[in-house]
Structure 1
Amino acid sequence: MRLLTVILLCCALLLCACATASDAPATPAPRPDPAADLPAAAETARRFLNAWQAGDLDAMHRLLTFRNRELTPLVEFRALYQQAHAAMGYISLDYKLQSLTGEGRFLTLQYEVTFHTRIVGSFVDSQRMLHLVVDSQLGEWRIAWSRADIFRELGEGARLVFESQLPVRANIYDRHGRALADQNGRVVRILVDNRHIPDREACFLALAEATGETAAEMDDLFNRRSKPDWIVDAGAIERDTYIRLHDRIEPVCAADFTQQATRRYLDGALMPHILGYVGYADADELPSLLAAGLHAESIIGKAGLEASMNDVLAGAPGGRLSLVAADGRRLRILSEAPSQAPKSLWLTVAADLQQFIRGALEDAFANGSFADETNGAAVIIMDVNTGEVLALVSHPTYDSNMLNPFPTMGREAAYTALAELIADERNPLLNRAAQGTYVTGSVMKVMSSVAALESGVYSQDSRYSCIGTWRYGNDLRYDWLPAGHGVMSVRTGITNSCNPFFYEVGFRLNAQDPQLLPGFAQKLGLGQPTGINSISEAAGYIPAPDTIERSTGLPWSYGHAVNLSIGQGEVQVTPLQMLRMYAAVANSGYLLRPQLVREQGILDDREPVARREALRDLGLDAANLAFIQRGMCDVTSSYPGTAAHIFAASPLLEIGVCGKTGTAQVPGADKLPHSWFIAYAPADEPQIAIVTLVENGGEGSTVAAPLTRDILEFFYFAEL
């Protein structure tokens, strides 16, 4: 019985086992081992390098192993690559995969990278190794990253170092070779070995006195911002300070002293509005400065030609990109490039002419020739055939040396002069020649004459009786000569400067087409930049139907055109714009780009910069131009001419001066008008044009015209 029970139990167990086996689900297929998928490993490496190529540091970081991402968080990872990019002046890279070796879950990709940089050009870094592993948490190929994946020596504690080679800033000369700006200023830099300072406390106190910093700032420079083994640049001091404090600094700091060349303007007040000045970069300029291989203390052009021609004057830095061990040993030079030599500039300006004009203006202001309310003046002379500017003077002037980081006059004197400059209500920093905008008065009548004849509304035979007044309805306007001038043509209207004649011109042109007169003003280059690209300039404003309605909400009327015809009302133009227009009248109708830089180069190896550039052929009728020119020539040589009494005894009558006076009324009952005179010479074969403006100076014929005469006599007859 017991035997039967055992047999039955065994059978039952067998049946259960059979049932369990038949009812169990199928065993899943084993997952493929990522280690066997070599193409996937290569693809991970390719994605990592593509992300670097695209500048996507976040995508690169996502491809690291989980452990790597913990050890090097994204913020730190980004910073490491950004620092390396900044050091090398990185632009882009190309890569080439070479071989994938290893076994199992650990592979090594050999590849090379070609880096393209701003300063040292392109260089190849070969035999680079990228390590790949199967991440145990992700079950996928990932990058086993270290700093060696930027450059292999970085994994051993080395640093990527760019040593900049900065060329010395080039000089600026006038058209005859007279030096205007050079690098012959000198300051002394203090260099201190942070490891070997005999008395740190006394050293910091002495350096603070020399540099104008505090002892606490020196402590911060040496103990926190500098490493213990650095040679620290403690700052630059003037020669007088060096002589006074050298014996105090040297023993307590064990300092070395080196000379540094600085910018110097040989006559800083001669043409600061042209040359400008140099200085340190502003915060928004620093990124591009650093990317170009310069540093935060690099001196760059800040205004005038120093700024607009900075790349020519400064050249381009060269340098060496190296990997340097922690102990200072150079491990490897990645690439190096020589600096690009800077080029000196030769200006179109003649320094002796500039100096005479500056002196003439200073004398006139000093001896009381101008009224007390006269704040400033401007004079420009330009070659009418080439656009070369021979002189450009804005008064009052200032010494541009005071704005340099290392002023040749000394910091204390510079600070005093700068405070006076800022407090000066006359605003000497304003370049009145190119940035000052003014009403013009009667010098605008040349534009109105061109418009009258070229539009066909007037002819050379048109006549108008100038009786001393002009009326339209209740609008009664007066001439400067109460009795009037009699019967006038366009030519004699210019010579006599008859206001009613030009009131009528403005009225009739407006009746023909309200856009006609402002359109000719704009065609002749007024109310817009002249295109001079070396210094800043103002655009000014010429009123027109559309702009008047936008700015005032009122419609354009005949009154706007009548005002414009004699340079009054809303007109605002620069002396440079007016000069260029007169030059176009003198040169048969070509509106030229004004030029300030004649040549650039190294020593005698020069290349031209100034080239005649006609921005606009005005297409003016030669007979009409000749008619207008005769009216202008009579201004200085004919009895009724408004400046004839000024030029009556001048030798300039032998060559002929053709011009126009202007007396521009300004708002304010007690304000004197602006005084203008614009002319060209010689009469038959024009060479130059000149504009003279004296703010609130009075009559054009009594203030600006005599100044112009004196300047032209110097230009043509002075023996230098």
Structure 2
Amino acid sequence: MRRLALLTLLICAALTACQPAQSDVEPLPTLFPSPTPEQFTLEEAERTANAFLFAWQSSDYGTMHSLISFSTRDATPLDQFSAIYENAADTMSLTALAIRPLAIARDASTPRVAVMVYDATFTTDLLGTFTDPERELTLVFEDRERTWRVAWSRGDVFREMEQGAQLRLLTTTVNRANIYDRSGIVLAMQDDRLIVTVNVVRRSIRDEAGCISTLASAANVEQDVIARRLDSTPPDWVNEIAQIEPAAYTEYSAALEQQCAATFGNRPARRYPNGSLMPHILGSVGYVDPKDVPEIVREGFPQDSILGRSGIERSWDEVLRGRPRVELVLDMPNGTRLRSLGVRPSQEAQAVWLTIDTGLQARVLEILSTAYAQNADTWGRQSKGAAAIVIDVRTGEILAMVSYPTYDGNAFTPNPSIGRQQALEIIEKTSTDPRLPLLNRATQGRYPSGSVMKIATSMAVAESGVYSVNTRFSCSGSWTRNGITRTDWLASGHGTLDLAGAVTNSCNPYFYEVGYQMNLVDPFLMPRLLRQFGLGQPTGLTDLPEDPGNIGDPDTYRAKTGLQWSFVEAVSMAIGQGEVEVTPLQIVRLTAAIANGGDLLRPYLVQKAGLFDDFSYEAQPEVLSQIDVRDEVLNTVRRGMCDVTTAYTGTATFQFVDSPLQAIGVCGKTGTAQNLPGPTTHAWFAGYAPREEPEIAVVVMVEDAGEGSVVAAPLVRDIMEYYFFGE
């Protein structure tokens, strides 16, 4: 035992020391200089101490182990020795260690024992930097090799560990914040229904076999799962061994207390009050992927934390989850706190408000669901799904986004509020459904656009100068070039049309010729302009994953097929077929740009985030690019779109003629896209309203459902009627 006098002298010496003592610097002050053999000098003790401490500083545990006393080295093999330091470093999230020697001394009455006093400064990911001052390292002179060695113990990691204390990182997580719609309706919340956690200390278990059996029954897992969890922590540590349902707690808690000496806690569950309304938007939470565990632990989260896995829950996870309070402590196995080394305060979780209008979202879903139910014996039999989006053309806010079919997002949380059995049934059904309900068709579905593309190709041909807005073409029932004949959807044709008329009538031969002529000028011209209009490109949405789609060109076509591009590919592209794959989000964004004067806005789903009225984030409209066409061109295309719903020859007039929307005007475009190589077609309609001072753009795409004017146009009409008139 070190004597009080020696400690007092050491502290005095520490106060006068200012430089680290390495082998190439001046020796530290000594307290009891005395003539000794060369190997017995305090300078030699200092050299050994420095070598040990600076080896620790560089995580060289092998060198450290080679410098400890022979008896300790025999009792503590290198792998065990290294593990002690590695575990401490991991617990602290240690990134750097700085050693500052202060003084070295020995008592004249015990010249074979020396003590170095030093400061250790720890830099960690979780706690920043903290210093453990005036630590002591004891050295002994070993006659066996006549050298100084470190009289090592666990207390040389932290002094309390010599008494059996454990270095523990305590985390206190904050409750995950809610997600709201634009008017404050709760979309995602922490459920009041709590999941019970079962905690045990293995050394305290009274009947291990019975404990494992009861735990397995309570948690509905195999016994070997429980056994592995018990093996994963030291016997004196508290182990959160399982999570059980409240009903299981009622049934098994007495037995668990008796057999396992268990204690209980609880965890809230994530709940989506309208589970099937927008799961593709909200996403889900879940346990951390194993590959992400090290990063999460470095941030202070437990390994079994429940974090965002998809949707808004994932893209805004850091905001929604906040940051745990973290404290590094030295505790005795019985829980007695000996010392706190450092604390990082928590960071409150922040709520997120979406741009979604819940009422509109629900109505859009109802419209799609009803359409499928009413057409179950016709197109509903082969159609696997649909997408509908409503966007504010002035801001880029997504007001509604539905991917059909939908599913109950509550099933995909670790502690489902709907009950585990029902959740498993939903997961099984959803995962095996050939309609692919998990696919967000609005942002990740790639489709040929059909004639909806004509709003883009009409702008491309007029802006490029290949046609003027007044170029007229005789739109008969067929078109022939270089021995290739294509037909129109109307065998009798449409007569002679200008550009606006070609859009209104959706004349295929007009646009076949557009593709042919643009390809003659430059095969890259049309693909380049279509991409400029935002097609086959990411829209800039950051809240959800999106597929970029594809607008092919001679280079990509050759790379994909090994064939040379020809006018045939350009002719197909002009009507939204061939090398065309777009998402509904791309189409509605382009429609919004035509409505707002040419701005391609960033579409977004999150309006703001923060605490109460203190917002850390508030979205602002962002123009990412412009379609960059002359006003004359834009106005011509608008006129053609507006006549689609009003003119005698408009392809959707029959759907809108009796609608109250006639009072404000709807401008749009139908599309019927061949889903090659099969015989079916996707039904499209994209439109905006009102005609003057537009507010919203809407797109509906129904897979394998037939003609856009028959299937998709009335769905857009119903959505717009609800938005403007509440009908």
Superposition TM-score, scaled by structure 1 size: 0.88
Partner of 2:697: 689
Partner of 2:546: 537
Q: For the Cα contact (< 8 Å) 1:119–1:318, is it kept in 2?
A: no
Alignment counterpart, residue 165 of structure 1, candidates 156, 169, 172: 172
Residue 56 and residue 388 in structure 1: after superposition, are their counterparts in 2 closer, same or farther (change >3 A)? farther
- Structure 1 residues 131-140 or 611-620, which shifts more? 131-140
Q: Which amino acid aligns with 1:333?
A: S
Question: What displacement does 1:600 show?
Answer: 0.8
- Quote the Cα distance in structure 2 between the aligned partners of 1:449 and 1:607: 43
Question: What displacement does 1:632 show?
Answer: 1.1
Q: Which amino acid aligns with 1:664?
A: A
Partner of 1:176: 183
Partner of 2:442: 433
- Quote the Cα distance in structure 2 between the aligned partners of 1:384 and 1:664: 25
Question: What displacement does 1:256 show?
Answer: 4.9
Q: Which amino acid aligns with 2:456?
A: M
Q: Secondary structure at the match of 1:460?
A: coil
- Structure 1 residues 203-212 or 702-711, which shifts more? 203-212
CA RMSD of aligned residues (A): 2.8
Partner of 1:401: 410
* 1:378-406 per-position Cα deviation (integer Å, ceiling 9, x unaligned): 00111122111111100000001111111
Q: Does 1:646 align with 2:650?
A: no
Q: Which amino acid aligns with 2:651?
A: T
Q: For the Cα contact (< 8 Å) 2:537–2:549, is it kept in 1?
A: yes
Q: Does 1:561 align with 2:565?
A: no
Partner of 2:537: 528
Q: Which amino acid aligns with 1:357?
A: V
Partner of 1:29: none
Alignment counterpart, residue 216 of structure 2, candidates 194, 208, 214: 208
Residue 201 and residue 108 in structure 1: after superposition, are their counterparts in 2 closer, same or farther (change >3 A)? closer
Q: Secondary structure at the match of 1:311?
A: helix
- Quote the Cα distance in structure 1 between the aligned partners of 2:579 and 2:517: 20
Q: Secondary structure at the match of 2:267?
A: strand
* 1:520-540 per-position Cα deviation (integer Å, ceiling 9, x unaligned): 121122222222111111121
Q: Which amino acid aligns with 2:90?
A: A
Question: What displacement does 1:59 show?
Answer: 5.9
Partner of 2:483: 474
Alignment counterpart, residue 709 of structure 1, candidates 699, 717, 724: 717
Q: Does 1:358 align with 2:381?
A: no
Alignment counterpart, residue 260 of structure 1, candidates 255, 264, 267: 267
Q: For the Cα contact (< 8 Å) 2:584–2:699, is it kept in 1?
A: yes
- Quote the Cα distance in structure 1 between the aligned partners of 2:67 and 2:532: 63
Q: Secondary structure at the match of 1:270?
A: coil
Partner of 1:583: 592
Partner of 1:99: 103
- Quote the Cα distance in structure 1 between the aligned partners of 2:144 and 2:466: 90
Q: Which amino acid aligns with 2:689?
A: A
Question: What displacement does 1:620 show?
Answer: 2.5
Q: For the Cα contact (< 8 Å) 1:388–1:610, is it kept in 2?
A: no
Q: Does 1:699 align with 2:694?
A: no
Q: Secondary structure at the match of 1:662?
A: strand
Alignment counterpart, residue 660 of structure 1, candidates 652, 669, 678: 669
Q: Which runs of 5+ in 1 are unaligned?
A: 1-31
- Structure 1 residues 193-202 or 591-600, which shifts more? 193-202
Question: What displacement does 1:233 show?
Answer: 3.9
Matches within 5 A, 1:48-447: 49=53, 52-55=56-59, 57=61, 71-102=75-106, 107-131=114-138, 145-184=152-191, 185-191=193-199, 204-214=212-222, 218=226, 224=231, 233-245=240-252, 256-368=263-375, 370-447=379-456
Q: Which amino acid aligns with 2:91?
A: A
Partner of 2:28: none
* 1:417-467 per-position Cα deviation (integer Å, ceiling 9, x unaligned): 211112211010001101111111011111111211221212122222111
Residue 107 and residue 239 in structure 1: after superposition, are their counterparts in 2 closer, same or farther (change >3 A)? closer
- Structure 1 residues 90-99 or 540-549, which shifts more? 90-99
- Quote the Cα distance in structure 1 between the aligned partners of 2:424 and 2:604: 34
Q: Secondary structure at the match of 1:77?
A: helix
Question: What displacement does 1:302 show?
Answer: 1.0
Residue 109 and residue 521 in structure 1: after superposition, are their counterparts in 2 closer, same or farther (change >3 A)? farther
Partner of 1:454: 463
- Structure 1 residues 325-334 or 190-199, which shifts more? 190-199
Partner of 1:14: none
Question: What displacement does 1:36 show?
Answer: 5.5
Q: For the Cα contact (< 8 Å) 1:182–1:264, is it kept in 2?
A: yes
- The structure with the largest alpha-carbon Rg is 1
Identical aligned residues as a percent: 44
Question: What displacement does 1:157 show?
Answer: 2.5
Residue 459 and residue 334 in structure 1: after superposition, are their counterparts in 2 closer, same or farther (change >3 A)? same
Q: Secondary structure at the match of 2:441?
A: coil
Residue 106 and residue 201 in structure 1: after superposition, are their counterparts in 2 closer, same or farther (change >3 A)? closer
Superposition TM-score, scaled by structure 2 size: 0.88
Q: Secondary structure at the match of 1:637?
A: coil
Matches within 5 A, 1:28-47: 33=38, 38=43
Q: Secondary structure at the match of 2:177?
A: coil
Q: Which amino acid aligns with 1:111?
A: Y
- Quote the Cα distance in structure 2 between the aligned partners of 1:145 and 1:521: 73
Residue 172 and residue 75 in structure 1: after superposition, are their counterparts in 2 closer, same or farther (change >3 A)? same
Alignment counterpart, residue 623 of structure 2, candidates 614, 630, 650: 614
Question: What displacement does 1:213 show?
Answer: 2.7
Q: For the Cα contact (< 8 Å) 2:504–2:641, is it kept in 1?
A: yes
Q: Which amino acid aligns with 1:93?
A: L
Q: For the Cα contact (< 8 Å) 1:120–1:318, is it kept in 2?
A: no
* 1:580-627 per-position Cα deviation (integer Å, ceiling 9, x unaligned): 122222222222211111111122323443221222234332222112
Question: What displacement does 1:206 show?
Answer: 3.8
Q: Secondary structure at the match of 1:535?
A: coil
